[in-house]
Every structure is written in C-alpha cells, then in structure tokens.
C-alpha cells in the first residue's frame, strides 16, 4: 500500500484530497497544525480508519517532521500547508512569511534528507508535490492571455509573494539537490469545507442569514474558478504521471467577475432555499471599499496538464456551485464549529461591521432564525 504524507490535510483543499484517498488503497499520514482554518470535523468521514493517521504539528518543527518521515516511510509528500487568505496577509504578513516560506524550507530540508537515504528503487518513485496558486503570476489586463507555466512571476500581495518564494525554494531544491519535486499552480477553488472568510462560503452563509453580501470595489475583478474535487483529481494525476522539476497549472477554464459569482449564487439560493425570508438574496449585495492592491484579473491556461496528463475539470461552474451550496445548507454544525471569536472579530474589522457579536452564529442555523448583521461604514 502506498503511503503519502499530506501537510495541511485538515484544511479546505487538503481535507478534500484526504477524503478522496479513502477508496484508493492509500495510507495517508496527515500533518496539520490546526490553526483557525484547520478543522478535524473536515475529516470525520475517516474517523477510525486505520489507513488515516492524523498528527498535530507544524511543518516548521523539524524533529517532529523527521520522526513522521522516518516512522511512516512515505512514497510521496504533498504540501498543502499554507496561510492562504490575501486579506489576512495584508492585515498581518508575518505568519505568511513564517509558514509559507520558512515552513516550506524546513519541510524541504527534512524531505531531502529522508529522500537521500531511500533505496534506489524507492528513491526513483518518490515525489514531493508542492501545491501553489495562480496569484504568483500577478494581475492580467482585460484582454491579456491567460497565465501559462512560463509566465514570469509578479506577485502583488504578501500572500502571493510568500507563495512565490516557496515555489522558488521548491524549484531550487529540485535543480540543486535533485529532489523529485513538482509544483502546481491552481486558480480559485470553491466547494465543501472552505473556511467562511473566502468569497463563496462567506456569501452563502451571509445570504441564508440575511446579512450583507460585501463585494469589493465595483465587483468586476475576474477570477478563474475551479471546483475543489476537480482540483484534487488533477493533483492525483500530477502525483502519478507528472515529471519532476515541472510545473502544471490547474484551472477551471471558468472566468467570472466577483459580482457574477455573487448573483449566480443568489439565484441558486432563491431556488434551493425557497422558504428563506431574504429572497431575492441579491437584495443583500452591498459594495464596500476595495481591497488594497486588488489584482484585477487572473486567468489560467491549463492546456498543458490536459495535453500531457489527460486531465480536465468535470464540473461546470453552476453544477459545482450547486453542490457547494447544498453542502453548506446541510452542514450547519460544521459552520457553527468554525466561527470562533477570532474569526468574528476579523470579519468585523475587515468589512466594517461595528458589532462583532452580530456575526455570531445562532444555535439554530436555519435562515428564518438568524438576524442580519448591523450595518456601518456603508455595509
């Protein structure tokens, strides 16, 4: 049975990947520090599964990582562990530098030492897969060609800069030391188990609770959208067929403006939650001051992974969004568990809601039981 060490496997993308490995005869060793966005509820489906081993720890804790590698002898390491929210990186960049850059360095060092001591046949099969973002490429104009694997890096936020630095480290460890590393750069993910600071879960939860739907600036910033399970399947293909030293872009070929996303989501909620007292949910849309340094457009050319590895996204945006909304409507306990005081306070600061307590989740999460947040500063 193949063994994979997954870092950040209690987070959004990582947990979806770990759950998908359940039927693949893979033993998963799951390393996660369980910061605010990591949640063991994401992994409930693997409770009691002998082929899923959870270890609470930091990728920067080298003795701990070394012991995990030595004890479990993985065939691959997949690095999802990262601070990932642009707004938080603007508010406090240091944790992004420590986790995304320094943490990746420590993980690379320990993985390299482990890999060097493997028998020759296992050494040839071993892979280090580093999961990154399209934000490292910077911002596109309205008519600019989509990012390819050869697009020069031009990160514009502390988050993007920290991920770009980690990509460069991974590439250097392959080129200099021979570590069989592969990098993937993905577009915006959406789907179940995403922490509700990101656009789609924030809008879903605010809408069903009658709270404002804060849209930055004019709402015309464009992103390419990728359903998380499609992303996870692409990562499996890269792990199995990808060439060490290479980069693969993963995208949904689905460019949408932020306001298109919100309006589509509202229309689906009108249909899927007809009992909601807040329909039409689009009436809750509120434009707020734009994010500092907000990149205007991302677009991903993922033709390489399709051509070389045979991957393509299965979900359309509407089918993926419909599945996402249904998951949040059906998993109110999960929603309550992730809305800690720290999360509420951060949302209050970010979007100008004066009363942080107004963002608390009530014991009953049904739409008709929840009160709308107080409005201030145009929210």
Please state, in angstroms and rounded to a whole number, the distance separating the CA atoms of residues 83 and 58. Answer: 12
- pLDDT value at position 352? 60
- pLDDT value at position 273? 95
Q: What is the pLDDT along the chain (379 residues), one digit of tens a residue?
A: 899 999 999 999 999 999 999 988 899 999 999 887 888 889 999 999 999 999 999 999 999 999 999 999 999 999 999 998 888 899 999 999 999 999 999 999 999 999 999 999 999 999 999 999 999 999 999 999 999 999 999 999 999 999 999 999 999 999 999 999 999 999 999 999 998 889 999 999 999 999 999 999 999 999 999 999 999 999 999 999 999 999 999 999 999 999 999 999 999 999 999 999 999 999 999 999 998 999 999 999 999 999 999 999 999 999 999 999 999 999 988 888 887 656 566 656 765 654 434 333 322 222 222 222 222 222 2
Residue 82 structure tokens: 């990262």
* Domain topology for 2-195+222-250: Rossmann fold (3.40.50)
- pLDDT value at position 364? 29
Phi and psi, residue 37, nearest 5°: -95, -10
- pLDDT value at position 375? 22
Q: For the whole model, what pTM was predicted?
A: 0.88
The length of the chain is: 379
- pLDDT value at position 347? 59
Q: Does residue 248 contact residue 242 with C-beta atoms inside 8 Å?
A: yes
Q: Does residue 27 contact residue 51 with C-beta atoms inside 8 Å?
A: yes
Alpha carbon 360 to chain centroid, angstroms: 24
Structural domain spans, the chain: 2-195+222-250
Residue numbers annotated as active site: 134-135, 159
Q: For 177-199, give one letter per residue: b (16+ CB within 10 A) or e.
A: eebbbbbbbbbbbbbbbbbbbbb
- pLDDT value at position 344? 60
- pLDDT value at position 204? 97
Please state, in angstroms and rounded to a whole number, the distance separating the CA atoms of residues 187 and 195. Answer: 17
Residue 316 structure tokens: 């359309």
SS3 assignment for the chain: CEEEEEECCCCHHHHHHHHHHHHCCEEEEEEECCCCCCCHHHHHHHCCCCCEEEEECCCCCHHHHHHHHHHHCCCEEEECCCCCCHHHHHHCCHHHHHHHHHHHHHHHHHHHHHHHCCCHHHHHHCEEEEEEEHHHHCCCCCCCCCECCCCCCCCCCHHHHHHHHHHHHHHHHHHHHCCCEEEEEECEEECCCCCCCCHHHHHHHHHHCCCCEEEECCCCCEEEEEEHHHHHHHHHHHHHHCCCCCEEEECCCCEEEHHHHHHHHHHHHHHHCCCCCCCCHHHHEEEECCCCCCCCECCECCHHHHHHHCCCCCCCHHHHHHHHHHHHHHCHHHHHHHCCHHHHHHHHHHHCCCCHHHHCCCCCCCHHHCCCCCCCCCC
- pLDDT value at position 84? 86
- pLDDT value at position 361? 32
């Amino acid at each position: 049975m193949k063994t994979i060490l997954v870092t950040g496997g209690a987070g959004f993308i990582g947990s979806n990947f770990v759950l998908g490995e359940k039927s693949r005869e893979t033993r998963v060793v799951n390393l996660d520090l369980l910061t605010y966005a990591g949640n063991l509820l994401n992994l409930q489906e693997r409770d009691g599964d002998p082929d899923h081993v959870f270890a609470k720890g930091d990728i920067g804790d080298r003795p701990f990582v070394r012991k995990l590698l030595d004890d479990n002898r993985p065939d691959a390491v997949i690095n999802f562990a990262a601070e990932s929210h642009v707004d938080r990186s603007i508010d406090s960049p240091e944790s992004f530098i420590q986790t995304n850059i320094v943490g990746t360095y420590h993980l690379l060092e320990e993985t390299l030492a482990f890999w060097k001591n493997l028998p020759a046949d296992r050494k040839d099969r071993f892979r280090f897969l580093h999961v990154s973002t399209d934000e490292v490429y910077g911002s596109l104009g309205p008519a600019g060609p989509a990012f390819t694997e050869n697009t020069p890096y031009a990160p514009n936020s502390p988050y993007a800069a920290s991920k770009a630095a980690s990509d460069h480290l991974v590439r250097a460890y392959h080129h200099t030391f021979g570590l069989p590393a592969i990098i993937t750069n993905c577009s915006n993910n959406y789907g179940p188990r995403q922490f509700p600071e990101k656009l789609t879960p924030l809008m879903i939860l605010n809408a069903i609770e009658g709270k404002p739907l804060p849209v930055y600036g004019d709402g015309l910033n464009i992103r390419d959208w990728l359903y998380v399970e499609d992303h996870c399947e692409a990562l499996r293909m890269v792990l199995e067929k990808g060439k060490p030293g290479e980069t693969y872009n993963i995208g949904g070929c689905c460019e949408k403006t932020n306001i298109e996303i919100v309006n589509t989501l509202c229309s689906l909620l009108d249909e899927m939650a007809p009992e909601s007292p807040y329909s039409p949910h689009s009436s809750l849309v509120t434009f707020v001051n734009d994010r500092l340094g907000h990149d205007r457009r991302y677009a991903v050319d993922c033709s390489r992974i399709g051509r070389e590895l045979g991957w393509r996204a299965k979900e359309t945006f509407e089918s993926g969004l419909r599945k996402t909304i249904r998951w949040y409507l059906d998993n109110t306990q999960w929603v309550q568990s992730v809305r800690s005081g720290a999360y509420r306070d951060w949302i209050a600061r970010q979007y100008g809601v004066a009363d942080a307590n107004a963002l608390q989740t009530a014991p009953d999460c049904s739409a008709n039981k929840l009160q709308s947040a107080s409005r201030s500063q145009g929210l």
